[in-house]
Amino acid sequence: MRTRPLKVALLGCGVVGSEVARIMTAHAEDLAARIGAPVELAGVAVRRPGKVREGIDPALITTDPTALVKRGDIDVVVEVIGGIEPARGLITEAFAHGASVVSANKALLAKDGAALHAAAARYGRDLYYEAAVAGAIPLIRPLRESLAGDKVNRVLGIVNGTTNFILDKMDTTGAGYQEALDEATALGYAEADPTADVEGFDAAAKAAILAGIAFHTRVRLDDVYREGMTEVTSADFASARAMGCTIKLLAICERAADGGSVTARVHPAMLPLSHPLASVREAYNAVFVESEAAGRLMFYGPGAGGSPTASAVLGDLVAVCRNKLGEATGPGESAYTNLPVSAMGEVVTRYHISLDVADKPGVLAQVATVFAEHGVSIDTVRQQSRPDFQDTASDGGEASLVVVTHRAPDAALSGTVEALRGLDTVRGVASIMRVEGE
């Protein structure tokens, strides 16, 4: 075993960074045995140098990350700052000054993955980022390496723990969205400003990364269709249960049936209870992969948190250090298929539509005609009088009409809904939700 240590610079020492540093110290001998050389923490860039950081030599602390990555003796830079800048500039400098990079930065990878991969290739360095998607769950390595001889057709994932916790609470306790969010906040699962999670931005970044790797093409954050889950109601869960479903916020990456394009999207969807993803509870994450030869695979685990994310970072650190020692690099970006990313309108899916309609003869025929005019075929209709909405108007009471469609392009489905809103017998569209995983 080589005795001269490999030098690691840590950018960021928050929840994840401090755990990376702790494990590097606590398991130094194991890491050395697995890498074939000792690894040494050579510097830690932080914003608040005064903070006490247990187990980290104060002499390693610096507030100048640029100077750290430019030192020239750093073998691997671990970037756990997050955000676009200064992370992007620091990673590029790291490559230029001899270091490979392990990053947990989903936002940056989703936005500028191609440029970063190109920089890594130009300098002959590694860029690994297992921790950027679904925390500790090995996902990028299996997709990029284990399935390298297979053809992935679909990736369906619960990749945001906060929203899964909220939806699970709504499902199991009957709580409303706000109540479940409050509980998530109190337990530390949701941040003070939960926008990135509940509006699906976090999941969309992960969807972009997953789609790119799964389909060997470039998918940028802007290519991902996104709907949040703040409008999911208890009534939606009741409707889902009536269909034998639950509701999950899904990241869905698909190859079109003709193979000529791909799509990536994030939105809440009804999912059959028999689907393996339906039983993913609390803040857990899971990703379901459908490939031509392997069939249906699922990867499950904690999607966030200091320790799980650190586990993923350290797995990458071991791989990158081994590559350094062997003077090799691991697999880089694979974007050779260069497939176009289609818009949401072209995605083929199913809608569950709940309408408030006038309770009088002929309404169903009118509604069915609108579907037919848009080329959307109806799977089931459930019509129910609602005596609680009985009013004194001459056209009688109100009824609820639940329509589940067959598969159709999203543009045709959303066009149908728009046209339904224009019918005078349709008082309102109570909810629309896609049905997936069948």
Active-site annotation, residues: 206
Number of residues located near its own copies, criterion CB under 8 A? 59
Structure tokens at 68: 């750290």
Q: How far apart are CA 44 and CA 61, in angstroms?
A: 5
Choosing from 100, 164, 239, 311, the residue that interacts with its own copies (CB under 8 A) is 311
Choosing from 5, 230, 261, 300, the residue that interacts with its own copies (CB under 8 A) is 300
Q: Does 312 bind its own copies (CB under 8 A)?
A: yes
Of 115, 78, 81, 129, the C-alpha closest to 99 is: 78
Q: Does 136 bind its own copies (CB under 8 A)?
A: yes
Strands 398-405 and 348-358: antiparallel
Q: Does 184 bind its own copies (CB under 8 A)?
A: no
User: x/- binding map, residues 193-222, to its own copies, per CB under 8 A?
Assistant: -----------------------x------
Q: Cβ distance 91 to 70 under 8 Å? A: no
Of 69, 114, 136, 112, the C-alpha closest to 332 is: 114
Q: Is 427 helix (H, G, I), strand (E, B) or coil?
A: strand
Q: Does 2 bind its own copies (CB under 8 A)?
A: no
Residues between 24 and 63 that touch its own copies (CB under 8 A): 27, 30-31, 33-34
Q: How far apart are CA 176 and CA 233, in angstroms?
A: 6
Q: Does 291 bind its own copies (CB under 8 A)?
A: yes
Q: Does 298 bind its own copies (CB under 8 A)?
A: yes
Q: Does 276 bind its own copies (CB under 8 A)?
A: yes
Q: How far apart are CA 382 and CA 357, in angstroms?
A: 12
Choosing from 84, 115, 148, 235, the residue that interacts with its own copies (CB under 8 A) is 148
Q: Does 7 bind its own copies (CB under 8 A)?
A: no
Q: Cβ distance 371 to 416 under 8 Å? A: yes
Measured from the CB atom, the residue of 149 and 422 that comes closer to its own copies is 149
Q: Does 295 bind its own copies (CB under 8 A)?
A: yes
Question: Segment near its own copies (CB under 8 A), from 45-53, 179-187, 304-312, 352-360?
Answer: 304-312
Nearest approach, Cβ of 75 to its own copies (angstroms)?
A: 15
**Amino acid in the structure at residue 63:** T
Q: Does 296 bind its own copies (CB under 8 A)?
A: yes
What own/partner pairs with CB < 8 Å and gap ≥ 24 does 151-154 have?
Answer: 151/291, 151/292, 151/293, 152/214, 152/215, 152/255, 152/289, 152/290, 152/291, 152/292, 153/254, 153/255, 153/290, 153/291, 153/292, 154/252, 154/253, 154/254, 154/255, 154/289, 154/290
Nearest approach, Cβ of 327 to its own copies (angstroms)?
A: 8
Q: Is 269 helix (H, G, I), strand (E, B) or coil?
A: strand
Binding site residues, its own copies, CB under 8 A: 19, 23, 27, 30-31, 33-34, 130, 136-138, 141-142, 145-151, 216, 276, 279, 286, 291-302, 305, 307-308, 310-319, 322-323, 326-329, 331, 334, 336-337
